[in-house]
C-alpha cells in the first residue's frame, strides 16, 4: 500500500534536477523528523516508504537526504534522537552497503563526532574503524592521526575500567600508525604514556619504568600531568623486579626534593638503601601508600598481607644480599608474608632471571648465589622493539629528574637523613621458633638498615639450623 510519504518520494523523483531532488529529499526528511517525536518512528516510517521504491538511484538520493536531515539535528538533542536514529539507519542500510555507501559514511562520521564530544571514546573507536582514511565526508576528512588519537583515548578508557585485554587491543590498533606519525610528538607521547600505564596495570613494572622516564625527559603535558607521571614512575620503580637498572633509578629518585610529594617517597628512600620494607598495621600513612599502589580499593585488615606481598620481590632481594642460605620459614617471617607467597616471589624472580638462587623444599631452605642481582632488565630492554634507544635516553631522563625540582620550585637539596614514618621504626619482629629449642630464641628485629641487622639475624639463623 502506497503511503503519503511514498507518494511524495515518487513525486520528487520525477524532478529533472539532481540538485533540486536532493534538496527536496532533505526537506522531506526534516519534516518527517519534526513530525515524529521518537527516532524509532522516524526510521520505521522511512523504510516503510522506501519499500515501495525500486529505482536504486532514487533510493540512494532519498536515503542521503534523510541521513543529512538527521545529521543536521541540534547536537543538544544528540543522545535523545541523533545517536539512536543514526545507529538504526546504519543497521538497516548495511544489507545494501554499496548502494547506501555515502549515507553510511555520513552517519558514521556524525556518530564519531558526537561520541568524541561526549568523551565516549570506546564507542568512537568502534565506529571510526569503518571510516576510510583520507576520504572527505560531509567536508570532514578522517585522518590516520585522528584514528590513532581515538584508539589511544579508547585504550585509556579501558584502563580506567581495569580492562587490560581491550586496552591492549585498542593500543595495538593505534600502534599500526606509529611509523606514519613519527613527526607527531604529541601523539607519540600519548601512545607511550598509555603504553606505560598498560604495562603498569599488567604487572610489567620494569618495562613501564623506562617509558615513564622517556616522558619525563620530554616537555610532555601540563604541570599536573608531569607530577602524575612522576608518581606513576615511583610506583613502577617500587614494584618492579630488582635489577641494577631499577636500583639506579631508585637512588636517583631518592635524591629528588619534588618527589617527596609522593606517598611512596619514604619507600623509595628505604629501597634505595636495600632495606626491608614491611607494613605492620593499617594506619593513615599505610592507607595512603596502599591507595597509591592499588588505586583506592576498599581497605580491610587483610590488605596488609596484600601490600606486603607487593614488596616481597624487593625484600627477597634485600635478604639475598645478607645470606648464602636461609630457612624458608624464617625467610617468610622476615618478609612478613605467608610461606606460599614468599616461595612464589622467590620462584618468580628465579624463573624470570632476576635472581640466582635455589629453593630446596626438602631441607626447607633457600640457597642464594654470591651474585644475586642479574642484568635481566637490560637484556629485556634491548629486546624491546618499542624502546630501541633506551640506553641513550636513560642519562637524559635521570638528569631531567633534577630539573623538575627547579621547575616546581623546590631548589633546596634533599637531606640525606629523611625522618622515617613511625611504622618503619616499631619493634615488630617477634621470631621465637628454633628447630631444636623453640624457647631459645626471642629476638626483636627493627626494619632499619639491613647491615645493622646482619649479626642478629645471622646468629638467629645459625642457632635455628643447629
pLDDT band for position 39 (50/70/90)?
low
33 has a pLDDT exceeding 90 = no
Mean pLDDT value of segment 316-331: 90
315 has a pLDDT exceeding 90 = yes
pLDDT band for position 371 (50/70/90)?
low
* 196 or 59, which is more confident: 196
- The top-scoring range by mean pLDDT among 120-124, 220-224, 393-397, 453-457 is 120-124
pLDDT band for position 41 (50/70/90)?
low
Tell me what pLDDT residue 237 has: 92
* 289 or 372, which is more confident: 289
Question: Alpha-carbon distance 62 to 377, whole Å?
Answer: 62
pLDDT band for position 37 (50/70/90)?
low
Question: Alpha-carbon distance 365 to 368, whole Å?
Answer: 10
Mean pLDDT value of segment 34-63: 75
Mean pLDDT value of segment 135-140: 77
Q: Could you report the per-residue pLDDT of 148-187, keeping only the tens digit for each?
A: 999 999 999 999 999 999 999 999 999 999 999 989 999 9
376 has a pLDDT exceeding 70 = no
* 80 or 177, which is more confident: 177
Nearest to 198 by CA among 173, 164, 224, 172: 164
pLDDT band for position 115 (50/70/90)?
very high
pLDDT band for position 372 (50/70/90)?
very low
**Torsion of the alpha carbons at 120, 201, 424 and 306, rounded to the nearest 10:** 100
Q: Which three cell numbers, joined as nine digits, stand for 199?
A: 604495562
Q: Which residues of 443-463 are buried (b: 16+ CB within 10 A; e: fewer)?
A: eebebeebeebeeebeebbee
- The top-scoring range by mean pLDDT among 153-157, 311-315, 458-462 is 153-157
CA geometry: angle 94, 95, 98, nearest 5 deg: 75
Tell me what pLDDT residue 341 has: 92
Mean pLDDT value of segment 46-60: 79
138 has a pLDDT exceeding 80 = no
pLDDT band for position 300 (50/70/90)?
low
410 has a pLDDT exceeding 60 = no
Tell me what pLDDT residue 455 has: 45
Mean pLDDT value of segment 68-74: 82
Q: What is the pTM of this model?
A: 0.74
* 56 or 147, which is more confident: 147
The domain ranges of the chain are: 1-140, 143-195
* 375 or 192, which is more confident: 192
Residue 222: its H or E element:
none
Tell me what pLDDT residue 405 has: 46
- The top-scoring range by mean pLDDT among 364-373, 407-416, 436-445 is 364-373
Tell me what pLDDT residue 330 has: 92
Q: Which residues of 10-41 are buried (b: 16+ CB within 10 A; e: fewer)?
A: eebbeeeeeeebbebbbebbbebbeebeebee
Question: Alpha-carbon distance 142 to 128, whole Å?
Answer: 8
Q: Look at the block and give the residue holding cell 590498533.
A: 173
pLDDT band for position 454 (50/70/90)?
very low
Amino acid at each position: 500500500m502506497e503511503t503519503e510519504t511514498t507518494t511524495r518520494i515518487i513525486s520528487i523523483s520525477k524532478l529533472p534536477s539532481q540538485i533540486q531532488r536532493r534538496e527536496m529529499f532533505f526537506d522531506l526528511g526534516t519534516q518527517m523528523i519534526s513530525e515524529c517525536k521518537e527516532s524509532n518512528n522516524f526510521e520505521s516510517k522511512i523504510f516503510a516508504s522506501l519499500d515501495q521504491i525500486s529505482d536504486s538511484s532514487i533510493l540512494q538520493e532519498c536515503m542521503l537526504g534523510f541521513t543529512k536531515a538527521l545529521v543536521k539535528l541540534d547536537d543538544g538533542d544528540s543522545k535523545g534522537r541523533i545517536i539512536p536514529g543514526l545507529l538504526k539507519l546504519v543497521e538497516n542500510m548495511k544489507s545494501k552497503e554499496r548502494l547506501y555507501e555515502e549515507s553510511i559514511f555520513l552517519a558514521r562520521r556524525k556518530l564519531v563526532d558526537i561520541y568524541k564530544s561526549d568523551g565516549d571514546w570506546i564507542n568512537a573507536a568502534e565506529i571510526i574503524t569503518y571510516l576510510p582514511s583520507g576520504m572527505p565526508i560531509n567536508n570532514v576528512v578522517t585522518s590516520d592521526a585522528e584514528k590513532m588519537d581515538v584508539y589511544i583515548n579508547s585504550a585509556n578508557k579501558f584502563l580506567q575500567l581495569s580492562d587490560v585485554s581491550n586496552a591492549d587491543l585498542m593500543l595495538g590498533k593505534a600502534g599500526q600508525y606509529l611509523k606514519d606519525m613519527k613527526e607527531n610528538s604529541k601523539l607519540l607521547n600519548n601512545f607511550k604514556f598509555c603504553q606505560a600505564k598498560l604495562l603498569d596495570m599488567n604487572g610489567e613494572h620494569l618495562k613501564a619504568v623506562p617509558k615513564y622516564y622517556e616522558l619525563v625527559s620530554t616537555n610532555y603535558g601540563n604541570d599536573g600531568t608531569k607530577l602524575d607521571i612522576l608518581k606513576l614512575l615511583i610506583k613502577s620503580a617500587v614494584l618492579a623486579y630488582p635489577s641494577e637498572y631499577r636500583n639506579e633509578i631508585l637512588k636517583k629518585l631518592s635524591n629528588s626534593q619534588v618527589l617527596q610529594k609522593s606517598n611512596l617517597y619514604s619507600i623509595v628512600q628505604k629501597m634505595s638503601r636495600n632495606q626491608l620494607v614491611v607494613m605492620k598495621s593499617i594506619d593513615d600513612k599505610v592507607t595512603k601508600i596502599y591507595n597509591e599502589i592499588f588505586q583506592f580499593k576498599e581497605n580491610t585488615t587483610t590488605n596488609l598481607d596484600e601490600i606486603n606481598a607487593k614488596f616481597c620481590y624487593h625484600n627477597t632481594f634485600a635478604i639475598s644480599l645478607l645470606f648464602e642460605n636461609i630457612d624458608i620459614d624464617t625467610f617468610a617471617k622476615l618478609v612478613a608474608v605467608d610461606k606460599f607467597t614468599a616461595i612464589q616471589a622467590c620462584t618468580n624472580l628465579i624463573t624470570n632471571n632476576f635472581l640466582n638462587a635455589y629453593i630446596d623444599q626438602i631441607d626447607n631452605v633457600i640457597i642464594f648465589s654470591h651474585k644475586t642481582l642479574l642484568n635481566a632488565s637490560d637484556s629485556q630492554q634491548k629486546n624491546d622493539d618499542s624502546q630501541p634507544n633506551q640506553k641513550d635516553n636513560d642519562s637524559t631522563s635521570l638528569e631531567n629528574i633534577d630539573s623538575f625540582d627547579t621547575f616546581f620550585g623546590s631548589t633546596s637539596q634533599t637531606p640525606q637523613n629523611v625522618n622515617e614514618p613511625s611504622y618503619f621504626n616499631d619493634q615488630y619482629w617477634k621470631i621465637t621458633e628454633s628447630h631444636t629449642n623453640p624457647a631459645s630464641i626471642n629476638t626483636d628485629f627493627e626494619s632499619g638498615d639491613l647491615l645493622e641487622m646482619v649479626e642478629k639475624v645471622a646468629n638467629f639463623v645459625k642457632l635455628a639450623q643447629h
